[in-house]
Amino acid sequence: MKNKDELKELITGVSIITLGVVLLKLVIPGEVDMSETDETTSILVRPDFWPKIVSWLMIIVGCIYSGISASKLFKPKLASKNLVNQSPLDQSSSIAVSKEAILRWTIVAVIMFIFLIADQETGLLIPSAAIFLIASLGFSMAAGYLRFAVAILLPMLLAAFFDFVANVPIPIGFLKFLAWA
């Protein structure tokens, strides 16, 4: 378990170094527009200067972090008993194959998918109702029909509040036939 934490930290450190290098070599040259500057522009005020500073800091911090993690990994005596930092998600033996675990991760995946595909066509009401129903199943099966009532009413109340009180129009997508559309 202890080695797993140090390995995780080592991978994190190496990932940060990789991110810094990718930023310096690929992303900054490709995604920072330098068209407004020329050779006479001071390097200190060019648009890519600050991103490069942050990238280099990432590489330096990543190296230090990886070094500390590697020293803990390969010299176990120096590792600290920092149990507080053990991730509560790291229940490796329990996450793998139980039916309940698969159901929960499926629920999470569906919720994320709804967030991802929501747009003006879907509106907010129907996806919200779906999110509520699916998430409530993940927490408890005991709610009964009450969950359906809440799933319908809650998004409508929120939409009415934002529409009429906060003056923020809420897209209702497929439900355009509703009175306030």
Partner 1 sequence: MFTQEIFVTALEHLFISWGILAIPVGLIAGVIVGAVPGLTAPMGVALVLPFTFFMDPVSAILLLLGVYKGGIYGGSIPAILLNTPGTVAASATTLDGYQMTLSGQSKKALDIALISSVLADIVSTLMLILFTGYLAKLALNFGSPETFSLIFFSLFIISSISGDQIMKGLVAALLGLLAAMVGVDSYYGTPRFNFGNVSMMNGFTILPLLVGFFAFSEVLFRLVNVQNKFKIDSAQRMIGNSLESAEIKRLLPTIFRSSLFGTILGAIPGIGAAPAAFFAYSEAKRRSKFPDQFGKGSMEGVAAPEAANNAVCSASFIPVLSLGIPGGTAAAVIMGAFIMQGLAPGPYLFKENRDIILAIYLGLLLGSAFLFGLGHIAIKAFVRIKLIPDWFIYPTILVLCFFSGFVVSSSFFDVKIMLFAGVLGLIFRYLTIPIAPFLIGFILGPLLENSFRESLMQSDGDLSVFFTGPICIFFWLLSLGSFAFTLWRTLRKNIMISDSK
Hey, which residues between 129 and 168 contact partner 1 (CB under 8 A)?
Answer: 131-133, 135-136, 138-140, 142-143, 147, 150, 154-155, 158-159, 162, 166-168
CB 48, min distance to partner 1, A: 9
Of 100, 82, 97, 164, which is closest to residue 138 (Cα–Cα)?
A: 100
For residue 173, the 8-state DSSP code is G
Computed on alpha carbons and rounded to an integer, the radius of gyration of the chain in Å comes to 25
Q: Distance between alpha carbon 88 and the CA centroid of its chain, in Å?
A: 17
Token readout for 99 is 């039916």
CB 35, min distance to partner 1, A: 6
Q: Which of 119, 160, 164, 178 binds partner 1 (CB under 8 A)?
A: 119
Judged by CB, which is closer to partner 1: 40, or 94? Answer: 94
- Residue 1 binds partner 1 (CB under 8 A): no
**What is the pattern of x (binds partner 1, CB under 8 A) and - over residues 62-81?**
x-xx--x--------xx-xx
Hey, which residues between 84 and 113 contact partner 1 (CB under 8 A)?
Answer: 85-91, 94-95, 98, 100-101, 104-105, 107-108, 111-112
Judged by CB, which is closer to partner 1: 40, or 87? Answer: 87
Identity of the amino acid at 110: V
d(CA 110, CA 154): 20
Q: Are 19 and 58 in contact (CB under 8 A)?
A: yes
Judged by CB, which is closer to partner 1: 73, or 128? Answer: 128
125 exposed, middle or buried (CB, 10 Å; 0-12, 13-18, 19+)? buried
